[in-house]
Structure 1
Amino acid sequence: MATKSLSILFVASEAEGLIKSGGLADVAKALPEALLNLDQDVRLCIPAYRKVSNIQESKVLLETRIDMWPHTEYKVRELSIADVPVYAIDCPKYFDREEMYAENNQAYADNGERFAFFSAACLDMLRKLSYKPDVIHANDWHTGLVPYLLKNRYKEDTFYSSMKSVLTVHNAVFKGVFSYEELHCLLEFHSRFVPEAAISSTHVTMLKAGVMSADKINAVSPSYAEELKTELGGHGMHKEFKTRERDLVGILNGCDYSSWNPETDEFLPQAYSSDIKSMKKGKKLAKSTLQGEVGLKKRDVAMYGMVCRLTNQKGIHYLLPILDKFLSHDVQLVIVGTGDPILASQLKELSAIHGEKFAFIEAYNNRLAHLVEAGSDFFLMPSEFEPCGLNQIYSMAYGTLPIVRGVGGLKDSVIDYYQDRNAATGFVFYEPTPVDLLLTLLNSLLLYTQNPKEMERLQSYAMKQDFCWKNAAQEYLDLYYSA
């Protein structure tokens, strides 16, 4: 256990509190904050998108251009979240747009170039700001070129030579695949020969460049780290993960309880704690508020909730074939989410048929998400794969029992009732089939209707679980030292 304080530059494409589209943003806020609380010098670097809060009023620390061709001009703006200093890379040509990655479900055509530039600028700014981190921590494909450029562009440069790189894989299904032409803004790709990134003679992936170049790699749960090395779970990159297995570890994400805590949650009609009396009262009020809001009849019935992106990854295709059958029972279901228009229209159709039992809200709505977490008895996460997942952890904090498939971080964080009743925090099924999901749903309903006292004990026990970031941050610190 090392004690010397480290200087860490955390590089990500989004961060909660500034701009967010998914779980990566939660980690990019919470992990630096937790490292700061462990007395580390940690700073964050993100693109200065148009929608970043207060971006235009922020102080300009640096006006410069990239040292290497094509000498793109950029500014570095100063922001902060929760006492963590933030460097925002401001280049209107790339980031002054309506959205972060895509508009109308269409990715920006120059995303490869945008994030290649961002990766180059993150490193280019360091000498000019006289800031020399010990570790640069990159995240997912958007910043996969940071370890690559550190190792290649700067290998002879004494200012950079002592810096180490770590890459976190939050979701390896998104690899950042582009042609050599699309990364023309980096001289290193002009030769059209970059074996550590190449997947064919014409295309490369930014994630592979990071995985093959970083000093250390981690996945966001121990099970996901193991799955990445298999043909089934490696999303086409299992050979690369296998090659780097000595430098690959799994660290389960923590939970930012400052945002997800029923005792302090401003979105709830009434705060509640893990004390059974308090929990029953709080959850009952949250349930009737939720029912009123989504147009379901206010009654004491088993409530199932789901908040997610509408994609097959989230297991919607396991749920759709069995919904008719499941809704023939005395239950209610609320699904909130946006994404695949085909899945959305199928859910809309089913909610029109089963309007008295099933509400589908096609929206991204943070307040409603909190209400679903508190007002439901069970939370659905039947994912095809799930690197870490956070909603199962939020659910436990709210006394809502997660129903999950035993993959990735879901397997690492939820204990199945039928495997260990005393330590159980939810329900786990393993086979990726609609039938297995249905059986698990019916088992949970059985517990709810037949044994309410046991159900309450389980809910209260789930609320006492602690996935705080402090423990995860300490594991990251050990990873930095190993680098």
Structure 2
Amino acid sequence: MKIVFAISEVEELVKTGGLADVGKALPLALKEAGHDVAIVMPYYQTIAKAHNLATVCPTQTLFAESQVYHFDIRHMSWHGIDVYLVDYPEYFDREGLYSNAYDAYQDNGERFSFFSGSVLQTLQAVACIPDVIHCHDWHTAMLPYLLAYDRSGAFSQTRSVFTIHNAAFQGVHRLEDIPFLRHHPGILAQVHGGYVNMLQSGIEFAHKVTTVSPNYAEELLTNLGSHGLHDRLVTRKEDLSGILNGCDYSQWNPATDHFLPENYDATNLHAKQTCKQELQKKSGLPQNPGVPLLGMVCRLTEQKGFGYLLPILDELMCHNLQMVIVGTGDPEVCMDLGEFAQNHPEQFAFINGFSSEHAHLVEAGADFFLMPSQFEPCGLNQMYSLAYGTIPVVRGVGGLKDTVIDQRQGESATGFVFDDPTSSALLACIRRALLFYYEHPLKFREMQQRGMATRFTWAQAAKEYIALYEAMLA
């Protein structure tokens, strides 16, 4: 099959979050499986600075309302995959992808509606008419709609797949702020109260809708878990599926990780203690190998469960433990964590920032990894934690429920899971984990080794996507 990924970020080229991980790993896995894969993405300032790419065809023109868009198409071969980059400096020659610091660009609806339209123009210009266009999140959610209204005839046999990576971000914008769509045929049917919900349009017009874990797909069919899109998703229930993301074990492998002071594997967990002492040292905590160390690396947002965690920090400090939290985000959460770290320097460390070195060191050096999320479409850190022999403590939502088996399940257990969205439930779960650490050291070691033997591969995810594509085309 000829498969095109329309996506707003790809790891190694440009990244703000987990979407970029998928943008790299899934195309490579599909290519490895023998399919013809290409990627179309914006030519951001970051990419332009790193790669001075040549154009591959004459300047293209799109018309919308009274506006004319002249853009270039640049090209690079990346791991043997053709990547076409839409070069429209007015929209993409900016420091940020979606925002300037914390403030989202006001014209994001227009920027990515234009990008969705430019994908179809680009594919025709480079003579790449795919069997499948795979769109991702709200940034390309208008593409299935534009494909449905395409009058060129070029894409009459092309089918669209739309993957929801996080339904909380829907791309809701006023139609009057989107010149590219304002007079488009059929657009008024997509307008509600003067606003276009791009994610909703993607759900409505894509031939198939997927999300990034089976359990999150089920949650999206409920009123509570759908972020307001329940009715739309229920009507597409037969076309909705959840395919679990894979993990890039070439980057996340404690046996080869160059960020670690000493490498280790399931047969040599003693070296994990070296990583623990290095994490304690770099975090300013006492280097005590016998104290259980809880780690957390994430965006500091409500979604990640800080509403559950912050109220119980004082009670946690009554136990013999240490905690390290690394991340950036909500200024209020940053301030609370910073103050708490100052008041509990022997037990609690907060690193306001992000670096790959810190992220890898926490995964290797911690005994437990906290993910008490409000919701978590897939989650990757619990997969990294399992690979590093670091026991996940998670809330049983989304992909966390699909990937972590609770200690109460006995011989197959790989972590600790709680369900209720409350601070008390999180506290009880952490206490259960601490008790297990202190009272059952041999079983704790066995749980670590089970986790390290667990694999969530992109080859398996690609196999499921290929089956979906083939069924859709048939």
Aligned to 1:362, which of 329, 349, 352?
Answer: 352
2:308 counterpart of 1:322: no
Residues 256-275 of structure 1, C-alpha deviation per residue, up to 9 Å, x if partnerless? 11111111111011111111
* Alignment partners' CA distance in 2, 1:65 and 1:181: 25
Alpha-carbon distance in 1 for matches of 2:273, 2:401: 29
User: 1:65-96, CA deviations, whole angstroms, 9 ceiling, x for partnerless residues?
Assistant: 33433331111111243332211111110011
Counterpart in the other structure of 1:298: 287
Equivalent position of 2:421 in the other structure: 432
Given the alignment of the two structures, is residue 464 of structure 1 paired with residue 470 of structure 2, yes or no? no
Letter in 1 for 2:140: T
- Distance in 1 of aligned mates of 2:49 and 2:462: 28
1:117 pairs, out of 114, 120, 125, with 114
Distance 1:80 1:397 in 2: 31
Aligned equivalents of 1:452 and 1:470: distance in 2? Answer: 34
The match for 1:40 among 31, 35, 42 is 35
Deviation track 1:387-441 (CA, whole Å, cap 9, x = no partner) reads 00000001000000110000110001100001x1211110000000000000110
Contact 1:140 1:168 survives alignment (8 Å): yes
SS at match of 2:412: coil
Candidates 11, 24, 29, aligned match of 2:24: 29
Q: Distance in 1 between matches of 2:458 and 2:260?
A: 24
Residue in 2 that maps onto 1:3: none
- Residue 188 (structure 1) shift: 4.3
Segment drifting more, 379-388 vs 44-53: 44-53
Q: SS of 2:370's equivalent? A: strand
The alignment status of 1:59 with 2:54, answered yes or no, reads yes
**What amino acid does structure 1 have at the position aligned with 2:227?**
H
Pick aligned residue for 2:435 from 420, 423, 446: 446
Residue type at the aligned position of 1:229: L
Q: Residues of 1 paired with 2:154 and 2:188: CA distance?
A: 24
Does residue 421 in structure 1 map to residue 413 in structure 2? no
User: Deviation digits for residues 242-297 of structure 1, max 9, x if unmatched?
Assistant: 0111100010101111111111111011111111xx1222x101111111111111
| Counterpart in the other structure of 1:104 | 101
Distance (whole Å) between structure 2 residues aligned to residue 131 and residue 49 of structure 1:
22
> For 1:210-289, what aligned pairs fall within 5 Å after superposition?
210-275=202-267, 278-281=268-271, 283-289=272-278
SS of alignment partner, residue 14 of structure 1: coil
Aligned mates of 1:83, 1:8 — CA distance in 2 = 14
How many Å apart are 1:53 and its aligned residue? 6.7
Distance 1:81 1:31 in 2: 14
Q: Percent identity, aligned pairs only?
A: 48
Query: Post-superposition shift, 1:362?
Result: 0.8
Matches within 5 A, 1:68-217: 68-69=63-64, 70-152=67-149, 154=150, 156-186=151-181, 188-189=183-184, 193-195=187-189, 197-198=190-191, 200-217=192-209
Helix, strand or coil at the partner of 1:352:
helix
User: What are the superposed Cα offsets for residues 5-52 of structure 1, whole Å, 9 maximum, x if unpaired?
Assistant: x01001111111111111101011000010011001011111111112
Amino acid at match of 1:118: F
Contact 1:180 1:189 in 2 (8 A): no
Deviation at 1:308, TM superposition (A): 0.4
Q: For residue 407 of structure 1, what is the aligned residue in structure 2?
A: 397
2:377 is the counterpart of 1:382: no
Aligned mates of 1:298, 1:120 — CA distance in 2: 56
Give per-residue Cα distances to partners, 1:339-364, cap 9 Å, x unaligned. Answer: 11111111111111111111111102
Amino acid at match of 1:42: V
Q: CA deviation at 1:56?
A: 4.5
Query: 1:194 offset after TM fit, Å?
Result: 2.9
Per-residue displacement from partner, 1:297-339 (whole Å, max 9, x unpaired)? 1111101000000111110110000011011111110100111
Q: Which amino acid aligns with 2:461?
A: A
Q: State how far apart, in whole Å, the 1-side matches of 2:50 and 2:155 are.
A: 29
Confirm or deny that 1:10 pairs with 2:8: no
TM-score (norm 2): 0.97
SS of the residue 1:51 aligns to: helix
Gap regions ≥5 residues in structure 1 = 1-5
Secondary structure of 2:324 counterpart: strand
- For residues 101 and 189 of structure 1, the distance between their equivalents in structure 2, rounded to whole angstroms, comes to 24
Contact 1:76/1:90 (8 A) holds in 2: yes
Give the aligned CA root-mean-square deviation in angstroms: 1.3
What's the TM-score once normalised by structure 1's chain length?
0.95
SS of 1:296 mapped into structure 2: coil
Paired residue secondary structure (2:47): coil
Aligned counterpart, 1:307 = 297
What are the superposed Cα offsets for residues 420-478 of structure 1, whole Å, 9 maximum, x if unpaired? 12111100000000000001101111111111111111101100001010001000111
User: CA separation in 2, counterparts of 1:364 and 1:225?
Assistant: 30
The SS at the match of 2:350 is: strand
Report the CA distance between 1:482 and its aligned residue: 2.1
Distance, in Å, in 2 between the alignment partners of 1:194 and 1:458 is: 55
Q: CA deviation at 1:54?
A: 5.4
Verify the 8 A CA contact 1:306 1:381 in the aligned structure 2.
yes
> Separation in 2 of the partners of 1:251 and 1:80?
28
Give 1:179 deviation, angstroms. 0.5
**Which letter maps to 2:148?**
K
- Contact 2:382–2:404 at 8 Å: present in 1 too? yes
Single out whichever of 63-72 and 23-32 deviates more from structure 2: 63-72
2: CA distance, partners of 1:182 / 1:124: 22
